[in-house]
Structure 1
Amino acid sequence: MSRGRLYFALQALGGAVWWITVATVPGIRTLTLGSLDPVALAAVDVPLFVVASAIAASSASALGRAAAIVATSWTAVVLAALAVWATVTGEAGWGVLVMTAATVGSGLALALVLLGRVPTEWLTSGPLRFRTADPGAATSRHVVATTVQIVVFWGLFLGVFPVVIAAAEHRWRLHPALPEPVVVTLLVIGLVVLALASALGIASAAAMSTKGAGTPLPSASANRLVVAGPYRSVRNPMALAGITQGVAVGLLLGSWMVVVYALAGSIVWNCVVRPLEEADLEVRFGDDFRRYAARVRCWVPRWPIAASVGGVPVAVSSSTR
């Protein structure tokens, strides 16, 4: 059985167990469905989620692939509907979280069933495909472009998204009541960590734009590979800074869901984006990058190495962020 079909088998089993629990444990029914009618929902969900997942798991034929599409599509529809319901009523918040996990899992499993793999390269296609910045542009132009990118990305990923997530956490009644001293402590720690992580991010961006002749975006990446600034100590200082910033924002907001959001982002970046970027670096910079990667760890900083690779000074690339 392929990994995709195995996931659908586990999903069918989990769905069946969940419906049995809903029918027998009032507390679980309240946490995941609120005041929604479980009988009416089961009449639709059991065939489209549980049975369809079971068929997707048991058959590698066209019928199994069609069932996988049905189960995945229905899971996404249920997630959207539950999110609206929870936002309007303040009920079923845990149901939204469960269906979020199921939707992500179903989507990945569907890719495995239909394609035999997860097409991560799609993330770097179209406007996000790997391209170097204009090598003839002035350094000031790269600095300005990098500054704009930082403002936009920090505003979205460290501002808008966390605020929306924290608001949903409160609205969906998933926010624990914390004692005042704990809230103050988290606020202080969050401020300190955010300041330090932001300094690391700015230093990394400055090294990239001034010495690498490019920006953090893969679509306008640096032209040269350099071991300078934070890149002397760790290969991915901008990613490390961004994840730490996300956790710090979660502490500031007192939101465990924002912390999970930041950590989930780190998994996506490490497992999906980083391999693509490092493959691009290896193609463009060859042995210089391989020697650099062998000497500098991916996530855990170490004592700075000399700012050269193979005895030749080099500039930092966006793909090492």
Structure 2
Amino acid sequence: MPRTPTLGRAYFALQAAMGAAWWIAVAVLPPVRLATLGDLAPLPVALLDVPLFVVGSLLAASGLLVAARVATGWTCLVALLLVGYSTVTGQAGAGAVLMVAAAGGSVTALLALLDRGVPVSLLLRGPFRFRPARAGRRRSAYLAATLAQAALFWGVLLIGVPTLLLLLEQRWALHASWGGGIPVGAALLVAATALGVAAAAAMSLRGEGTPLPAATANRLVVAGPYRVVRNPMAVAGVLQGLAVGAMLSSWFVVLYALAGAVLWHVLIRPPEEADLQRRFGTAYLRYRAHVRCWVPAIRPDGGARRTAP
């Protein structure tokens, strides 16, 4: 995330304007009130939300850190309460979605105002800390570990989380079926899974490691799918998420997959690439110069070596 308080202030200014516009719409448009507040009485909510959310965001836009903290805390609390209310009652689903988005934006803007980056180091600990796999094992052992990791992560990220999101989408009365989503999604899922399996096999058999940061490859892999795109497993994961979203006719799941791509690109990719550069030096720099992160290269690997020690 760019360390620029200006972006934080700009976001809070936009949030104040959008919040004011939303309350005006609540007052004059009953469908908006019903979709975002359900049966909640608008006046008691407005007595708290207007000063803490709208005015607080406006003051935060001027650079007042106390106001930014208050507005962010209030936004997160309202998002949590609305998610609970919508889940219990089946009402105000649109309001819950808007407040969850506002909470994420407020937290990011507050970090920008404080001129701090997202604390990625807190995420990259334990099983997510970058370190090479134990060297000297049979390649079949790396492959077995990789397949076990894939089964676990795919089970959680492609079955568990999408199922929960679909249930929330249905409960919040925001679900709408798409025509033709199942065949298109199934075809995409098969192709994306094949890409992920091929990338995992290359990582295990040629890189002597696994996709998990705590047991990452001992050798720089530029074979298989890595010849045409630097992060084929990330590409495969995003496409799998989009495929599941299409099969479930769930825009929640589609947004989840896209959000995952953004978070991976902004939070995980930089430290991962820094680790690769530290361990593999000019071989990785040459590879990175010829092969793009997300878009497949027209000329595979640009002459880079297939593996590097």
Whether the TM-score (by the shorter chain) exceeds 0.5 is: yes
Give the match for residue 238 of structure 2. 243
Separation of aligned partners in 2, 1:189 and 1:248: 8
Deviations 1:66-124 (A, max 9, x none): 22122111111111111111111111111011111101100101111224433344432
Looking at structure 1, the residues matched to 197 and 207 of structure 2 have their Cα atoms a distance apart, in angstroms, of 15
Alpha-carbon shift at residue 136 of structure 1 (Å): 2.6
- Supply the AA of the counterpart residue of 1:47: P
- SS for the counterpart of 1:223 is coil
1:265 is displaced (CA, Å) by: 1.1
Amino acid at match of 1:118: V
Bigger shift: residues 110-119 or 285-294: 110-119
SS of corresponding position for 1:2: helix
Contact 2:127 2:212 in 1 (8 A): no
TM-score by length of structure 2 reads: 0.92
Q: Which amino acid aligns with 1:193?
A: L
Distance 1:69 1:198 in 2: 43
The alpha-carbon deviation at position 305 of structure 1 amounts to 3.2
**Cα distance between partner residues in 1 of 2:221 and 2:233:** 14
Structure 1 CA distance for aligned equivalents of residues 75 and 187 of structure 2: 40
CA shift, 1:285, in A, is 1.1
Counterpart CA distance in 1 for 2:299 and 2:158 is 28
| Cross-structure match for 1:22 | 26
Q: Does 1:43 align with 2:47?
A: yes
Equivalent residue for 1:230? 225
Q: Is the 8 A contact 1:208 1:315 kept in 2?
A: no
Contact 1:296 1:302 in 2 (8 A): yes
Alignment of 1:305 with 2:309, yes or no, is: no
Query: What SS does structure 2 have at the residue aligned with 1:200?
Result: helix
Q: How does 1:276-315 map to 2 (within 5 A)?
A: 276-303=271-298, 305=300, 309=304, 312-314=305-307
Match for residue 107 of structure 1?
107
TM value normalised by structure 1: 0.89
What SS is found at the alignment partner of 1:243?
A: helix
1:85 aligns with 2:85: yes
Which residue number corresponds to residue 58 of structure 1? 62
2:210 is equivalent to residue 215 of structure 1: yes
In the alignment, the residues of structure 1 paired with residue 225 and residue 145 of structure 2 have an alpha-carbon distance, to the nearest angstrom, of: 20
Contact persistence 2:290–2:302 (CA under 8 A):
no
Structure 1: where are the runs of 5+ without partners?
317-321
Cα 1:217/1:261, change in 2 over 3 Å: same
Extract structure 1 runs of 4+ deviating beyond 4 A.
none
Cα–Cα, structure 1 residues 32 and 48, in superposed 2: closer, same or farther, change >3 Å? same
Paired residue for 1:257? 252
Q: Unpaired runs of 5+ in structure 2?
A: none
* 1:134 corresponds to 2:134: yes
- Taking only aligned residues, the RMSD between alpha carbons, in angstroms, comes to 2.0
